[in-house]
């Protein structure tokens, strides 16, 4: 299954990170005349757990069947302020996303895709402009040429994406936390439902139903200081249209927990299929391994402790 068009696939960078056993308890044994007594040492100052890398057994025969980018190789790099600055995704081809910041706001995403066989590259850039802390303009270029430009107009909880270059307007209604509750485009509508900040259901034109189930463990993507990256990627899917919101947007950066099951009902417009995921976890309730049983893609998660 192919997902977000900007998120192609393949990983050239590997980093060695300091793997930590998050469940280890350090005990010190002190000998005294009466015998041996186990005494706990003073705990080390708590650090910040961050996802560093996702490694995958994905290959050329399974790449087209990946459900989302977490089925693929991912490498996350941070700047000196521990904020996400670069993200690379790999399956067969690769995509590197470089993030430019001004203060705590993302102002540009640079997408560099590389074709594995020829090493040919192309570059797409998305520039984000703000009014205070609110996004009011998004424009994207491909190899330097502007191909989409949208103004965002806010009315209460409704955001109109006004197509500056054409007539492909979109409208969304957002919840208080910024997640999308409804999308409208040229007679097409999608409704979104959430429980415990997890996306649980999408309904396309009141007919096609997409449901999500979760574990009760911690979503590792939420360990990354990604600022408003999730919102911008969400908005790019809104601009892309209803197909992107159905096939690519699974609220992965904002979900509280980890997806265990995805089911499709009454959908005939694409090749979306049911998915089941199983996990192994560390003592801190983060996944360390995930198996997509629908395509036999196995991924492993690596963390650092800053």
Give the tens place of pLDDT for each residue, 154-167. Answer: 999 999 999 999 99
Concatenate the DSSP letters of all residues of 74-140 into one string: EEEEE-TTSBEEEEEEESSSEEEEEEEEETTEEEEEEEEEE-TTT--EEEEEEEEEEETTEEEEEEE
- pLDDT computed for residue 29 by the predictor: 33
Q: What is the pLDDT of residue 233?
A: 95
Tokens 């034109």 sit at which residue? 205
Torsion of CA 92, 275, 197, 247, to 10 degrees: 60
pLDDT digit string, tens, across residues 90-121: 998 999 999 999 999 999 999 999 998 899 99
pLDDT of residue 2 exceeding 80, the answer is no
Percent of the chain with pLDDT over 90: 76
Check residue 42 and give its pLDDT. Answer: 37
Checking 184-187 for CB contacts under 8 A at 24+ apart, the result is 185/241, 185/242
Does the structure show a pLDDT above 70 at 54?
A: yes
pLDDT higher at 62 or 152: 152
pTM greater than the 0.85 cutoff: no
CA–CA gap between residue 69 and residue 87 (Å, rounded)? 11
Distance of alpha carbon 164 from alpha carbon 147, whole angstroms:
10
Band (60; pLDDT cuts 50, 70, 90): confident
pLDDT tops 80 at residue 33: no
Widest Cα–Cα separation across the chain: 85
Q: How far is CA 293 from CA 249, 256, 270, 276, 277, in A?
A: 20, 22, 20, 6, 6
**Residue from 252, 209, 260, 183 nearest 7 by CA:** 252
């Amino acid at each position: 299954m192919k997902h977000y068009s900007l998120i192609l696939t393949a990983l050239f960078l590997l980093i060695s990170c300091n793997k930590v056993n998050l469940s280890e308890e350090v005990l010190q044994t002190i000998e005294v005349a009466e015998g041996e007594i186990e005494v706990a040492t003073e705990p080390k100052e708590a650090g910040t757990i961050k996802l560093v890398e996702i490694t995958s057994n994905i290959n050329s025969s399974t790449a087209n069947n990946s459900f989302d980018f977490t089925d693929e190789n991912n490498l996350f790099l941070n700047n000196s302020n521990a904020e996400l600055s670069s993200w690379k995704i790999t399956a067969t081809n690769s995509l590197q996303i470089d993030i430019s910041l001004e203060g705590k706001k993302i102002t540009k995403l640079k997408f560099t895709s590389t074709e594995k066989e020829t090493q040919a590259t192309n570059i797409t850039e998305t520039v984000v402009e703000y009014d205070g802390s609110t996004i009011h303009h998004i424009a994207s270029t491909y190899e330097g040429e502007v191909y989409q430009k949208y103004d965002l107009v806010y009315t209460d909880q409704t955001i109109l994406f006004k197509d500056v270059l054409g007539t492909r307007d979109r409208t969304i209604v957002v919840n208080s936390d910024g997640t999308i509750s409804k999308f409208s485009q040229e007679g097409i509508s999608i409704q979104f439902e959430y429980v415990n900040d997890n996306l649980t259901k999408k309904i396309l034109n009141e007919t096609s139903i997409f449901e999500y189930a979760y574990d009760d463990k911690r979503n590792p993507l939420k360990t990354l200081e990604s600022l408003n990256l999730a919102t911008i990627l969400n908005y790019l899917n809104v601009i892309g249209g209803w197909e992107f919101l159905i096939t690519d947007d699974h609220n992965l950066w904002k979900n509280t927990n980890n997806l265990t099951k995805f089911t499709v009902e009454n959908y005939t417009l694409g090749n979306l299929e049911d998915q089941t995921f199983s996990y192994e976890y560390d003592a801190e309730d983060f996944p360390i391994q995930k198996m997509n049983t629908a395509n036999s893609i196995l991924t492993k998660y690596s963390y650092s402790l800053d």
